[in-house]
Amino acid sequence: MALKLSKLPKRTPVKINIVLNPETHDAMTDYARIYEETYGNKENIEELIPFMIASYLDNDHAFKKARKLFSRGTN
């Protein structure tokens, strides 16, 4: 049977820890402050990082092309 809605993707978050250099941490703190001024919602850095990484990956066309080629080779 084929449904209009495809199988839902994995939704279990994966927790990782990262270490930022002081300059990157300062930039992230500034970003969070500017985000709050722009949208009126205060978000901490930990909440912003996953969305920033997803946005970065979604907009890296070379990565998306290479990933597509890579996935074809591993299937």
In a domain? residue 17: no
Query: How do residues 6-54 score in pLDDT, each as one tens digit?
Result: 777 888 989 999 999 999 999 999 999 999 999 999 999 999 999 999 9
In a domain? residue 55: yes
**In sequence order, what are the residues at sequence separation of 6 or more whose Cβ sits closer than 8 angstroms to the Cβ of residue 4?**
none
Query: Distance (Å, rounded) from C-alpha 15 to C-alpha 57?
Result: 18
Instruction: Average the pLDDT over 45-65 and give the result.
Output: 94
Task: Name the residue with higher pLDDT: 59 or 11.
Answer: 59
Residue 49 is encoded by which pair of tokens? 């990082």
Radius of gyration of the chain (CA): 17
Say which amino acid occupies 5: L
Task: Name the residue with higher pLDDT: 62 or 3.
Answer: 62
Contact 30, 14 (CB under 8 A): no
According to the model, what pLDDT value does residue 1 have? 65
Count how many domains the chain has.
Answer: 1
In a domain? residue 2: no
Residue 72 is encoded by which pair of tokens? 């074809």
In a domain? residue 16: no
In a domain? residue 32: yes
- Domain containing 38 equals 22-67
In a domain? residue 31: yes
